[in-house]
Structure 1
Amino acid sequence: MVSSKDVAKLAGVSQSTVSRVLNTPEKVRTDKYDKVVKAMEELNYRPNAIARSLVKKQTKSIALISGPIHNPFFAETTTSIVNYCKSKGYNTNVHFEVFGDNSSIIKDVSEMQVDGIILSSILMDDKIYYDLKALNIPFVMFNRKHNEPGNYFEMDNILAGQQVTEHLLEINHQDIVWIGGPLNMSTFHGRYEGFRLSMKAHGLTVGTNNTFITDTSEQGIRDVVKDLMSKRHRPTAIFAATDSIAIFILDFLLEKGYRVPEDVSLIGIDNTKLSQHHSVQLTTVGTEQCINLGQVAIETLIDQIETGKFELTQKTYSTKLFNRSTTRAI
């Protein structure tokens, strides 16, 4: 294999000059830089990534801890994050959440040695937050966040929950059911709170008869909706706390011969690309500017890694309703 010593010999410079060209090229005179680059090209030299990471104290690797891949929101954000990292010369180690406990993932990530962590899989009181802090590397949360202060990018989940509920109330629905995930996740907690506040403001109660907490899996959602639709008194509208949940519900309802929105109105949150598909046209709520939360989060993380400036960044984006085809007035 060609070594840096071979490059130095051909270029007529020292090995330390070759090292500076690879790691701090701005400190090398133009004539020497050109000689080294030319020698590398002639010898087809490829620097050893591990050796360079030891010199620069960087691995050029990012760990992504994402929510479940069955949710199109996480599929979209994972794609954006991986593509952006690649464009910046970083590898992405992708991990998908272990429902309710990511401690084993954090252990794996800490053993890999990465430059930073971006995660959408964290509970509001999650103990892994303190494990992340102990790693002493930058990390950014998106979509979900912890109760403790940290870098995060989210939508205004309470506002989103209120906008969904107000839309359904404005078109005369009162028998509204909320279907979501665990309330120790900031997304579901906020969206449920928005639902509760709006219902209360209109003199409507929220309880076990119209609130259903699931593991967000397709089977879990189907079980809840099957039970709901078998009752004599069915809801006129379903508030799905994510587009992913809404799409599982839509698929089940259509499979069983129900019409949406004629038999029941359906609305989600996230405004994923799938919700916009002409065959779906899901009424939903998303960020006003259609922000990709994973994209803005990874841009911030890499900027912090490369500049060494770890200023606290916290962003909550306002939301709006995208009124499509799955809700109707009654």
Structure 2
Amino acid sequence: MVSTTEVAKHAGVSQTTVSRVLNRPEQVKKETYDKVMQALAELDYGNASAASEQHAEPAKRIAVLFAEDCAPAEFARLREFTESAQASGYELTGHALTGNESMEDSKALVKGVAGVIGIGSLPAELKEYLKEASPYLQAEEAVDEGKPFDGRKAAYLATSHLAEKDHQQIAWVGGDLPDGSERLQGYYEALAHHQLKLRKKRIHSTQSPTDFDAIAAELRAFKKPTSAFVAASYEDGLQLLDSLKSAGFKVPKDISIVVVGEPEGDDAELTAVKPPSAAQPFAQQVVDRLLQQIEGSETAMPAAEDELQLSKGNTVKKFKERQKSKA
């Protein structure tokens, strides 16, 4: 079996650092932690936390078995699993399987634990043993990914939000999306529900950034100017925002924007109708599910929220308030 000294040399850190990663990962910087975990994976280190096993109470200990096909990114989740287990009063130990272990070796890794979490393709014989020997959960099968994003409903809610803010001249802008026609249908339905006229000249299909500039330039030509936009995606909303600002419009003082979808990063500038949030982070879902088995209180996984969410962006203003501000 590979020693911690070899792991330390391979990762370019001290043996003490390796020990901290294995036993007290919360005390290690993420960059260092990831480096050591990658070294563990590359060296097929067979026991990712043997030392902590000697100190943890058997009845309050969970083992995580990483199959040999796990990528380094999977090992990096050990920190999340550890924190989730510790929050519930359990110690957690991780084991990176090499594929060369005998059944007796594998059994020894989980001896005396309260439960086992498997990640990756564990050997069939080992999985059968775990199912019989202790509470066991395969991580990939335990998470609740929630419902798929309903673009049509989101567009309906985005348009309705603007209508409820007394906007009547609401335009649509969007590029080519897989469910673009469904999102546009949601926009149509909301206009009809709020008894607002559907005007084809306010439906803008975009293919490039210059299309957004053209839309912004034409706004002043309308007898009844557009007071708000529904953007088919967050990216469309950002492009529109930039073009409106370049054309001299102030958002939301002059024009309001609500987008369908959410940003990929931390950007929360635009008011948006977002997909329902996952009920819990991945590691927390898995640990909680296992603890339900361990403590004899297993229930259905908590579902993700069914309702779409309106974010607290700053690109919407009530139409009457906007009118008053111009007076």
TM-score by length of 2: 0.45
Highest Rg: 1 or 2? 2
